[in-house]
Structures are given as C-alpha cells and as structure tokens.
Amino acid sequence: MSLKIACLQLDIAFGNPEKNRTHVEEKMKEALAEKPDVIVLPELWDTAYDLTRLDEIADVNAEKARQFFSQFAKQHSINIVAGSVAKKTDQGVTNTMYVFDREGREVSQYNKLHLFKLMDEHLFLQPGEFKNLFTLENSLCAGVICYDIRFPEWIRVHTSAGAEVLFVVAQWPAPRLSHWKALLVSRAIENQCYVVACNRIGNDPNNTFAGHSLIIDPWGEILAEANDQEQILTGVIDLSTVKDIRKQIPVFTDRRTEFY
C-alpha cells in the first residue's frame, strides 16, 4: 500500500496562536491540491518557543487545535499528524502531538518525552511518560518530537513493536542541520522504516530554524527534501517496502536482547 505525504514546512509567528492557526488552515487547504493521504505539521506550530508566556497563550486542553483538526480531517477525508501544540492543563503545559484519521477520530496524543534543556523546555514544560504508537490506513506508525530523535533506544521501543513509519515533528535549529539529516537517515536505516520529518523555517528571538523537512525510505535513501523556505513537501511511501527489507536483513529477529 502506498501513502502520499504532504509535510507543511512553515514559518511560525512567535507567541501568536491566532495568526498561526489562520496560517495553518490556509496551508492545509493549499496542500489538498496535492491530494495527499496524510498531512504533517511541525512542532509547536501554535506558539513557537515563546515559553515564558505559555501560561497565557497555551491552548487549554488543546481544545481549539483538536476541534479544528478533527473537523478538517473528517470534512476532507484525510489523515493528519498535527505537529504539536502547547497544551495547558491543571498539571502544567505539555508539548503535545495529536493524530487524526480520515473520520476525524483522534487516534493518538503524545507528550514530548525528552525535553531540550538548551532551549529551556524543562523550565516551562512537563515531560511525557508514554510511547506513541497509532494506526493509519491499517499500518502501525509512531510519532516523536524533535529532540527525541537523539535517543535511538526510544525510537526502537516503537519499531520493535512493529511501527513501519516514524513521523517526526520539529523546530530544529539551523546550526545543527547536519545532525538533523544524519540522525534521521540513521533512524531510518537502523529501524528499517520510513521516516517522515517535518521541520519549521524562520526565526525567533533566539534561534534560526533549519527547514529541510525530509521523507526517507527504509534503506536510508532520501525520497524528498525541502529547502530552507516555506514549502509543502510531498512524497509517496510504499509500505510493502518495509516488510521486504525487514525480511532481507532480519535485524529485529537477530537482536540479542538478553545482552542489552
């Protein structure tokens, strides 16, 4: 089975959720012209890294985002990996990914497990505690957020459970663009899975972001790569390839977990 992916590589207005929601809706409607099966958004597309104001601007229980994406997915019969949003709860604010299927059902939510101290996430966000496995189009998928890709053991938790597609949503800074590409290609090769990675572009008061969203096959070959400008990146993934490659080089059955 094949899936057409559309990654929305966006610039994000710092600390302006209303402006960002309008922009996201415009770009999602634009992406429909590509007739994708899945639309993917970047990390914290609603607030950007305006962390000090999250108590003021975060989406309470992510209600606005969840309602919008559910309705959009159902109306247009499309799967949405809705990046992540700043979700405000009584326990604090989380960096939370949501996924919706073609019927508008919320099939997953995931709070970022690994908080990035270099950007002060640990001072303003609560960490997640659970993995993120979900099914789209009868295929098991996984989703992680940005810094998570530096922890291969966390990715392997998901792929050893059978995930065939890894969705990565990010605000990855430009100075470490080479790491972004190397890590994502490595995660694809070692896990024999597709990697769909949607990054943002633009600037905030402290950072410049890399763009270069990627769609990578299980051999580590880059199928599609964006530049450093706002762009809708599309590509087609063939899920039968995952099963074939896992048979050719049986990494998962050859693991010796008694030693690690």
Residues designated catalytic: 43, 112, 146
Q: Tell me how long the chain is.
A: 260
d(CA 40, CA 82): 6
d(CA 36, CA 241): 19
Which 3 state secondary structure label does DSSP give 100? strand
Which residue, 77, 98, 83, is CA-closest to 9?
83
Amino acid at 95: N
What are the two backbone dihedrals, phi and then psi, of residue 178, each rounded to the nearest 5 degrees? -65, -35
d(CA 42, CA 204): 15
Which residue, 24, 56, 63, is CA-closest to 200?
24
d(CA 196, CA 213): 8
